[in-house]
Amino acid sequence: MNKTAFIFPGQGAQFPGMGKGFDSPVFEIAERIRPGITSLCFEGDPAELKLTKNAQPCLFLAEIAAAEALINAGVKPDMLGGFSFGEITALTVGGAFSVEDGFRVALKRGELMSESDPDTGMAAILKLPNETVEEICARHGLYPVNYNCPGQVAISGRSEALKASRPDFVAAGGRFAPLAVSGAFHSPYMNAASVGFAEFLSGQCVKTPELPVWSNLDGERYGSDVKDRMSAQINHPVRWEKLIRSMNEAGADLFIEVGPGDTLTKLGARILPDVKFIHASTPEEVAECLKERQ
């Protein structure tokens, strides 16, 4: 044990001002590639920042900046993982590609996923066993896609099917919470994005990570099949609960959520209540993490 895991949040965690206060070269790199991206990250309109093509590259900036601050302060990860988009940041920190290439990957992923069917969406289903969620989804042509923690699964599908399914989930004793996203992520509705991402990655230099990185696909460690896993992740479920348990079994006893928000910290407390989860999204929180590890 006594190993530290960095985990990076996904889309939905973004907010204007994230990453501000960190002195990182990632902002200059990103500004050179997409002028105006730092202003969008620091002072952008929330509605504009929420757009997939903007949210993903901006999250990358905030997460990389926080990770660099932690590492420079002496808090270094033994292993890495990321929720949905956050896996791109984890792979970058793990050495699969450079920070500049990682930003380009984030841009392309966000661009491709933003081209999804506008009549699709997602919802979080709470307080029900996975099997019940899966059975109701099958009845309505929906897809269980994010296995977040015990009693919480996110689902994807057509907007009308989501609306029609709500009474069934409620009748089964669950809670139905629509998610403010612009597509049916991690479902077959992302097949075109997955194919496009695979084509893009075929021309990129992507290495086997130097640090262990755990995959959303099956909760197991990345090997040499990095490109295949990255593209398949877009249209397959996120096995987050299994991923966290696998990292803990590999020795992680301190999980640091690196980047905006504390959603993964809260999920972690439900998955492994006896393990410490903390978060670092500001310079002040980075300082607190340093104290935690001393």
- Residue ranges per domain, the chain? 3-115+188-293, 120-179
The CATH superfamily assigned to 3-115+188-293 is Malonyl-Coenzyme A Acyl Carrier Protein, domain 2 (3.40.366.10)
Q: What pLDDT sits at residue 12?
A: 87
So what CATH class is 120-179?
A: alpha beta
Mean pLDDT of 100-124: 93
Set 84, 187, 194, 215: catalytic member: 84
CA distance 99 to 61: 10
Residue 1 pLDDT > 80, yes or no?
no
Residue 287 has pLDDT above 90, yes or no: no
Distances from the Cα of 75 to the Cα of 250, 286, 290, angstroms: 19, 9, 6
Res 159: pLDDT: 95
Q: Is the pLDDT of residue 117 over 90?
A: no
Select which of 140, 186, 236, 279 is catalytic: 186
140 catalytic, yes or no? no
DSSP 211: S
Is 186 designated active site? yes
Per-residue confidence (pLDDT) for residue 2, from 0 to 100: 86
Task: Provide the token pair at 204.
Answer: 């990129």
